[in-house]
Amino acid sequence: MAGSGLHQMPMTTSFSNHDVLKRIHDVIPSIREIKEIGGTAGMSIGIMKYGEIIYEDHLGFADVGSQQVVESGTRYPIGSITKSFVAATIAQLVHEGRLEWHKPITTYLPELSSAVGPMPTNQLTLVDLLSHQTGLPSFDVVWLGANNEINVPKEFTTAFCKHMPPLYPARSKWVYNNWM
């Protein structure tokens, strides 16, 4: 990055658990206030450090009507925010040389390569999947029910994807897709 004007930030900073907990306790009142202002019924906060949970808190209700409080097992429909987590993780793996943006997705998911259906898996890349350029339909109504219940268990996702017919040729059109 020499001469680019960009400076690399250190990837990790060492904070003791005490430092982290103090920072969290200092910011919790603001989080509670924002939760109230935004009308959020309930939320959970968790912080892990090296695989160990060092902080966990639950605020509000999982179900306001029945006054069921939020707890560790509360499931949240967090929706598409997971896409940014996946993209950041993939970018890190590309940076480390463990993945490549433009290799066929079957390089990393060989179980898709035996597709007997119409999905063009040998053409699709990580870029296609992350940019919604697969040409495949979303099929949200098939796999996700009206109350966020999962209609297609995760162990069937690959099989379902293998037989999903494309709406358009790969890279020809943007189609929002929660499967890929």
Full-model pTM: 0.63
- pLDDT exceeds cutoff 50 at 176: yes
Residues 78-106: pLDDT tens digits?
778 888 999 999 999 999 999 999 999 88
C-alpha span between 59 and 30 (Å, rounded): 13
Q: Does residue 30 lie within any of the structural domains?
A: yes
Question: What is the spatial distance between Cα 17 and Cα 54, in angstroms, rounded to a whole number?
Answer: 7
Residues 6+ apart with CB under 8 A from 20: 47, 49, 54, 55
Show the domain range for 28: 17-69
Structural domain contains residue 139: yes
- Residues 134 and 40: their CA atoms lie apart, in Å, by 35
Do 54 and 107 lie in one domain? The reply is no
In the chain, the number of structural domains is 2
61 and 97, same structural domain?
no
Examine the domain organization and report whether 112 and 154 are in the same domain: yes
Of 25, 41, 69, the position where a domain reaches its end is 69
In a domain, 11, yes or no: no
- pLDDT tens readout for residues 125-155: 999 999 999 888 877 777 766 666 777 777 7
92 and 48 within one domain: no
Is it the case that residue 21 has pLDDT exceeding 90?
no
Q: Assess whether 56 and 102 both reside in one domain.
A: no
Could you tell me if 175 and 136 are in contact, meaning their C-beta atoms sit under 8 angstroms apart? yes
Asked, for residue 180, whether it belongs to a domain, the answer is no
The token pair at 162 is 């293998």
Cβ neighbors of 15 (< 8 A, separation 6 or more) are: 23
| Helices of type H across the chain | 17-38, 81-95, 126-130, 140-143, 157-162
